[in-house]
Homo-oligomer: A and B are copies of this chain.
Amino acid sequence: METNDIQGDAEFSADERDAVYKCIFNRRDVRGQFLPDPIPDQVLARLLTAAHHAPSVGFMQPWDFIVVRDSAIKQRVRDSFQAANLEAAGMFEDEKQKTYRQLKLEGIVEAPIGICITCDRSRTGAVGLGRTHQADMDLYSAVCAVQNLWLAARVENIGVGWVSIIRHDDLRGALGIPPSIQPIAYLCVGYVTHFLRKPELETAGWLPRMPLSDVVWIDRWHAREASDPLLQCL
């Protein structure tokens, strides 16, 4: 092992640590606060670079990034969302449906940029390191790229919203994505008027934030001692 192979600036300071936690806690799914201000290409390049440095199974890097600026294409994506969202609303019952119909769930047209992140499942051939026993690891790698981009955007004071109420084939149609390529996320990306303190679905009473202590177990599923010192720290 040569010294050159080791990270020289490996240690993080308390300030650096706090910055990362602030980013994680202040990240929001943005739907309604987009400004039309353009994102400078240098900034957008930083977001894409962050996404490209996500972990990937077998160092496969299965992602592509389609940066959507064209307003006609954004409108087509929006139309596909609208069709899916009408169907979706009908699936919820009574009060829940009433709440659902009042939620703003996307900012596709308002956001100056869309970014579609995809997964090319055959990028590195038929057999992939780390995918021999868990075939979906390539999809998960592309999701990690989404999360990296989302966090990088937050520290650039840029909002991101993930639109999932849309058929993959509609997204393929709007963006010319071939059938062999799996769309992972369509993201609305732009500067914002403000970031909300809490997730919008929490504020709207859709679901509460679960106590972390409800979902932490020791050694085995649903096992733990109430006196476990880790649980006292949650």
Number of copies: 2
Interface string of A97-121 (1 = CB under 8 A from B): 0001001010000000000001000
Q: Which of A19, A105, A146, A152 has the most CB of B within 10 A?
A: A19
A35 at the B interface (CB under 8 A): no
- Contact partners of A16 in chain B: CB under 8 A: 19, 22-23, 155
A188 at the B interface (CB under 8 A): no
A78 at the B interface (CB under 8 A): no
Q: Check A207–B175 contact: CB distance below 8 A.
A: no
Shortest beta-carbon distance from A89 to chain B in Å: 9
- Contact partners of A150 in chain B: CB under 8 A: 55
With A165-B132, A195-B10 as contacts: A220 and B143 at CB distance below 8 Å: no
- Contact partners of A19 in chain B: CB under 8 A: 12, 15-17, 19-20
Q: Check B84–A197 contact: CB distance below 8 A.
A: no
Q: Check A26–B55 contact: CB distance below 8 A.
A: no
Mark A residues whose CB is within 8 Å of B.
4-7, 9-12, 15-17, 19-27, 29, 41-42, 44-46, 48-50, 52-55, 57-61, 63-70, 73, 84, 87-88, 91-92, 100, 103, 105, 118, 124, 127, 129-134, 136-137, 139-140, 143-144, 146-148, 150-152, 154-157, 162, 164-168, 175-178, 181, 184-185, 194-199, 201-203, 206-207, 209-210, 212, 215-223, 229-230, 232-234
A sample of 6 cross-chain residue pairs with beta-carbon separation below 8 angstroms, ordered by A number, consists of A7-B195, A10-B194, A20-B151, A67-B217, A88-B132, A140-B185
